[in-house]
Chain A
Amino acid sequence: MAERILAVDDSSTMRQLVNMTLTRSGYEVVEAEDGSAGLQKASADSFDMVLSDINMPIMGGLDMVRNLRKLAQYKFTPIVLVTTESQVEKKQEGKAAGATGWIVKPCEPEQLLAVVTKVLR
């Protein structure tokens, strides 16, 4: 059975790119357009991994990560932030919120795939 990944980003371009890259390699991708929609979908369903942007309307990525980590089924689920932010302070904040990893956009499709493969192994 294919592993399920939740892709959260307010940019439909980014969601589409993540979807295309990971679906080609046999993963199942579900999209959400902001942190709140992402949290809702994660609660209603189960995912093996979450990829999320940080700067989103309604609920940002860091808040979504903190809320996900409070849910029992997502205590240890890999959550990787895919963002344009690259400052050390932001990364520390992400790590403290419970993120598993950090990818700075733009990234090559192979990088995204390598990270997903690595954390899901």
Chain B
Amino acid sequence: MLLNSYLRSSENEFVSLIRALDACWNVAENVQKATARLAELTGVESDSETVAIRESMLEGCKVFRKFLDHIQVVSRQLDLAAQETRAVLVTSNHLREDLAPLNHIAFHFRLESCRLSPEDTASILGIYDDMREVLGGMTQSGDSQDSTLSTILGKLSTATQTVEQASSSYADRATVSEKNIYHNLELLLTVPPDLADVRSKAAAVGASIADSIREAVKVLQGHDAIRQRLEHILGALARVRTDSETEPGNALLLQRHQAKCVLEMIVNTGSRIEVELNGVIRSAQGLAGDSSDRAAAEAQVEKFEEAVDRLASISAGVAELLTGEMKIGNFVLNQIEPIDELLNANSGELRALAHSMKRLKRLALNVLISADKMPSARGIGVLGSWTSEAAERVLKLAKELDEKFGRLGATVESQAASITADVQEVESCRSGLLMPRAYNNLRNSRRDEYDEVNRLNEKARELQQKTEDLLKSLKFVDEGSRLLGDLDPTLEVLLTLYPKPEKPLDLNAASVGYTMQGEREVHAAVFGGDEKKGLARLSEPAEGQDYGDNVELF
């Protein structure tokens, strides 16, 4: 009667156990969902928008610094160009210096012509007039070159001064901005240790809890075998007096042995359930965390949010600095781009000058030829020679000037192209910084993550408590042990009342032939041991239909 009552009470306990385990499983699934959500929030720090924010900040620093460095190089190049321009100015002055002797020569042409016959005078005067024209052109050209070179010098000087002034003030602001950006980015990337801890273990713990509960559910099926065995023992004991085939003593011995096996099953079942439930408790404890660190967590969240806010504000600041750089770049371009036009115009002047000198040389030749025909015009011949020499010097100077202007033009063009490219890069970077960004998403991510961690902690604590209560409520092992423990001496007494069996009982053989062979194999499957055997199949499973050795679909 007591055993029957135990069967009912243990079955009720298992049913309650299953219901409680179902509730724990729900909590475990919620823990897993919270873990997945946590993984999602962790991913915000590496999602495309957040990466874009970080990269645009770092790009801003890089481009800003690069422009500053580069504009200084350009400034030095322009300074060299200015020095070259001064050298060209010196050459140009030499040109003007050669003008004086030519004027002097022209004057003496006029003087000499007075001593000649009227016919010869007219011819020389004609040459003199041509010379005056050429020399007038030379003077104009010289003035024009002076003006051009002065203008170029002025523009180069303005450009380099502007760069120097702006660079020194921007350099300090660049350093401060860079420091702030790197500092705040580092704050964003630094994960507080408590959060890092939860991140690393949440997924594994969630899965471990679910596994423990699943194993517990499997172990609970062992109760069916316990129940059937106990019922069989009770039935066999009830038949002892009436069963004529088996000697009562042997029947009692067999059932006493079976009762010990059942007790072992009950204890093993209880022990396995305890192992799995303790596994759940340990896992849940690992996630339960310490609620007293709320203040520290809140401080971490605020630190993170402030870092994001500062980055947003720095972003606008850097964009402003980049705007300033663009202005410098464009100002310098406005200064140096016209230089190319001036140089081109000046090349024209030089070509005209060269043309004039060739004309002068021809005039000089004419003078020499004419002087040959005028015995009294020896002086004219000398003047003609001097004129030719002077013209030759001017031609050389003009060629030299042309080459120098060419080099100057190439330098200025190259620097203008370089600045244009830099300005474009700065503009592109600035546009990137001014693009509307999802700062809010990033800003809220750390708080959302902590909130999720708190929820996870709470669920884990709940699971731990429920499982601890469940474990404490288990009575079937103690009760079963007590009852079966009491059964043994009772059977011992009964054995003394019956005569000793004529045929001794081979317990092993009787156990092997025991009709509950299936139950033995069930428990061997649950608890392991050497009784685990391959399960018989009618046929091999088709592909994709193998659900385990214990499952067969016909």
Contacts and interface: CB of A to CB of B under 8 A. Distances in A.
A66 to B, nearest CB: 15
A111 B538 contact: no
Contacts of A92: 538
B221 interface: yes
B224 A13 contact: yes
Contacts of A88: 536-538
Contacts of B218: 106-109
Contact of A106 (B15, B526, B536): B526
B551 A115 contact: yes
A13 B228 contact: no
Interface string A47-87: 00000000100000000000000000000000000001111
B553 A106 contact: no
B222 A106 contact: yes
B512 interface: no
B406 to A, nearest CB: 85
A10 B72 CA distance: 92
B214 interface: yes
Nearest to B549: A104
Nearest to A85: B518
Contact of B224 (A11, A21, A102, A110): A11
Contacts of A86: 518, 521, 535-536, 550
A14 interface: yes
19 contacts: A11-B223, A13-B18, A13-B227, A17-B220, A20-B21, A20-B217, A86-B535, A86-B550, A88-B538, A91-B537, A95-B554, A102-B551, A104-B535, A105-B550, A106-B219, A106-B525, A106-B526, A107-B218, A118-B545
Interface of A: 9, 11-14, 16-17, 20-21, 24, 55, 84-88, 91-92, 95, 99-111, 114-115, 118-119
Contact of B18 (A20, A100, A104, A105): A20
A95 B225 contact: no
B280 to A, nearest CB: 15
Main secondary structure of the interface of B (DSSP, over half): helix
Nearest to B525: A106
Nearest to A14: B224
Given A12-B14, A105-B225, 8 more contacts: A20-B19, A20-B22, A24-B22, A84-B518, A86-B550, A91-B536, A95-B554, A115-B547
Nearest to B552: A102
Interface in B189-233: 214, 217-225, 227-228
Contacts of A12: 11-12, 14-15
Contacts of A17: 18, 217, 220-221
Contact of B19 (A16, A85, A104): A16
B553 A115 contact: yes
Contacts of B220: 13, 17
B495 interface: no
Interface string B485-525: 00000000000000000000000000000000011011001
A86 B22 CA distance: 29
A16 B553 CA distance: 23
Contacts of A106: 218-219, 221-222, 522, 525-526
Contacts of A119: 553
A13 B273 CA distance: 14
B164 to A, nearest CB: 76
A104 B553 CA distance: 12
B221 A105 contact: yes
Contact of A103 (B228, B525, B545, B551): B551
